[in-house]
Structure formats: structure tokens, C-alpha cells
């Protein structure tokens, strides 16, 4: 199992993901300004949330950007909940049909990193 991302790692990831949409350098993004102050719409926040799910390997609430409306608040929350999730164990029968896309991605990451290799 890999370590969950730190708050700083989540902050860095979010800044990098937001920068192209905001047409700003990641370091220029004020973490205390709301996403709506930056003009982000729901489609953009959903797109970023989907990419964040892929990076984290687990599902997120689609309303997180409204519940935690600043980069600082969202990064802190994501880092806190990331510590409570773990990569799924491979299915006993070796099949992946019942797994979500995020679970398959996490399983593959574990296998490629050597963490999920079972003898």
C-alpha cells in the first residue's frame, strides 16, 4: 500500500490542475480565493474532480468544490480523507469485473509499484 498524499502534495496537484483553466502559473493562484471568484464553472470543477479521483484512486463527492470552495480548504480536506482510503485487495478469483475504474487504477498502480504483488 502506498502512502496517502500529503496536504502539500494535494495542494501542488490542485494548483497544477487549475492553472490551465485559470491561465495562471500555479504559484500565482491564491489558495484563499473561492473557485467562483476565479470564474470556475461546474463543468470545470467536475472535470478536475474526475482527474483528482484518478490520481487518488477513489471516488469523491461531486459537490466537494462547493463544500470546500477554496483551494486551501479542498486540499486540507482531500489530504485528511485520503488517509482513510486504501487500495483495494485484488479479487480472490483474479477478476476485475466488479471493480470501479478507480479501484482498477489503484490495483494496477499497486502492482506496478510492487506493492500489490501477491505470491
Per DSSP, the three-state class of 34 is: strand
Q: What is the structure's pLDDT at 62? A: 80
Q: Where are the domains of the chain?
A: 7-82
- The band of 12, judged by pLDDT with boundaries at 50, 70 and 90, is very high
Domain 7-82, classified CATH 1.10.1200.10, yes or no: yes
Say if CB 2 and CB 111 are below 8 A apart: no
- The band of 99, judged by pLDDT with boundaries at 50, 70 and 90, is low
Which has the higher per-residue pLDDT, 78 or 116?
A: 78
Per DSSP, the three-state class of 107 is: helix
- pTM for this one? 0.70
SS3 of 38-56: the string is CCCCHHHHHHHHHHHHHHH
Amino acid at each position: 500500500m502506498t502512502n496517502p498524499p500529503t496536504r502539500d502534495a494535494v495542494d501542488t496537484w490542485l494548483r497544477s490542475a487549475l492553472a490551465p483553466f485559470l491561465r495562471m502559473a500555479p504559484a500565482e493562484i491564491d489558495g484563499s480565493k473561492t473557485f467562483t471568484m476565479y470564474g470556475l464553472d461546474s463543468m470545470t470543477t467536475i472535470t478536475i474532480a474526475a482527474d483528482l479521483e484518478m490520481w487518488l484512486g477513489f471516488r469523491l463527492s461531486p459537490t466537494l468544490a462547493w463544500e470546500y470552495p477554496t483551494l486551501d480548504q479542498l486540499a486540507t480536506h482531500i489530504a485528511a480523507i485520503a488517509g482513510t482510503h486504501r487500495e483495494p485487495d485484488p479479487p480472490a478469483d483474479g477478476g476485475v469485473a466488479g471493480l470501479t475504474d478507480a479501484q482498477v487504477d489503484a490495483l494496477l498502480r499497486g502492482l506496478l509499484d510492487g506493492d500489490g504483488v501477491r505470491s
